[in-house]
Amino acid sequence: MKKLLLLTGLLLLITPGVFAQKASEQHQMNFVKVNLTSLFLKNYGIQYERVLSKRVSAAIGFRFMPYTTIPFKDKIIDMANFEDQEPINILNHAQMANYAITPEIRFYLGKKGYGRGFYIAPYYRYATYDVNNVDITFEVEEDGVPSEKSIKLAGNIASHTGGIMFGAQWALGKFVSLDWWILGPAYGVSSGLLDGIPSEPIPADGQADLKQEIENLDIPMVKQTATVTANSVKVDITGPWAGIRSGIIIGIKF
């Protein structure tokens, strides 16, 4: 009897491991992927996905962009149709770097599953945007003669967004996968701070003009509040934030 109980216990311990091993042999449960589309946007994105069951997987993505000019700035200027020249000058000269972390849960709806077929993926994204060379011009009076000055601002903006990705993933052979992010709209909030130090003290009339110039900038969605003194400029940025994920991602599976 004792031998039978011992044998039964051993079988109970071994059997789940055997089935898990067979499942892992039958379906590759890990995907490491590179975002091909992001390369055209001057940034680099990778994603790791782990299959948890036939219908569910978890993934985490990382995106990094080194300092560069703002992507598609010409298209942004054309679409925004700015009435003032100031935001156009800012977009033309500003430089930006960013990184983002994006965890998500995927629900596969097709018959195949295990990381294959159409899926819906709720996700969260934390992103930071480092900005420099934001050149703001303002007017001052020197001995009764108006003149134009400028100051360069730099800082960062952080955003928290959530959204839903609609996509599909296929196996291209035994070790290669193709992931199509069809559409992944997101919405959330943002906040940030830009600051700068003038090359010479800003007179009182120049401080008022600079504050007005900054706060009147036509920047979509966000609100900017400026604090200007003779020796410093700080700009607090708050507001909603929106984005869209889309692209073609190639990966290896194991």
**Given this model, what pLDDT does residue 90 score?**
86
Residue 16 has pLDDT above 80, yes or no: no
Contact by Cβ (8 Å): 248, 33: no
- Which of the four pLDDT bands, split at 50, 70 and 90, describes residue 119? very high
**Given this model, what pLDDT does residue 123 score?**
99
Higher-pLDDT residue of 241 and 27 is 241
Which whole number is the average pLDDT over 63-77? 88
CA angle 215, 217, 220 (to 5 degrees): 110
| 10 vs 5: CA distance, rounded Å | 9
b/e burial code for range 120-130 (CB count within 10 A of at least 16 → b): ebebebebebb
**Given this model, what pLDDT does residue 12 score?**
42
In sequence order, what DSSP letters do the residues of 77-112 get, joined into one string? Answer: HHHHT-SSSHHHHHHHH-EEEEEEEEEEEEEE-SSS
Which whole number is the average pLDDT over 44-59? 98
**Given this model, what pLDDT does residue 186 score?**
98
Higher-pLDDT residue of 12 and 110 is 110
Q: What pLDDT digit, counting tens, does each position of 148-204 carry?
A: 889 999 999 999 999 999 999 999 999 999 999 999 999 999 999 999 999 899 999
In sequence order, what DSSP letters do the residues of 178-226 get, joined into one string? Answer: EEEEEEEEEEEEEEEEEEE--SSPPPHHHHHHHHHHHHT---SS-EEEE
**Given this model, what pLDDT does residue 7 score?**
44
Q: What are phi and psi of 65, to 5 degrees?
A: -130, 120
**Given this model, what pLDDT does residue 220 score?**
76
Which whole number is the average pLDDT over 11-27? 50
Q: Quote the tokens at residue 233.
A: 């400029």
Q: Which of 65, 61, 35 is nearest to 48 (CA)?
A: 61
Q: What are phi and psi of 56, to 5 degrees?
A: -130, 140
The percent of residues in the chain predicted with pLDDT above 70, rounded, is 90
Residue 22 has pLDDT above 50, yes or no: no
Residue 229 has what DSSP assignment?
-
**Given this model, what pLDDT does residue 227 score?**
97
Using the Cα atoms of residue 181, residue 183, residue 185 and residue 190 in order, give the sign of their dihedral: positive
Residue 70 has what DSSP assignment?
P
- Which of the four pLDDT bands, split at 50, 70 and 90, describes residue 65? very high
Identify the weakest region by mean pLDDT among 11-15, 106-110, 128-132, 145-149: 11-15
- Which of the four pLDDT bands, split at 50, 70 and 90, describes residue 253? very high
**Given this model, what pLDDT does residue 45 score?**
97
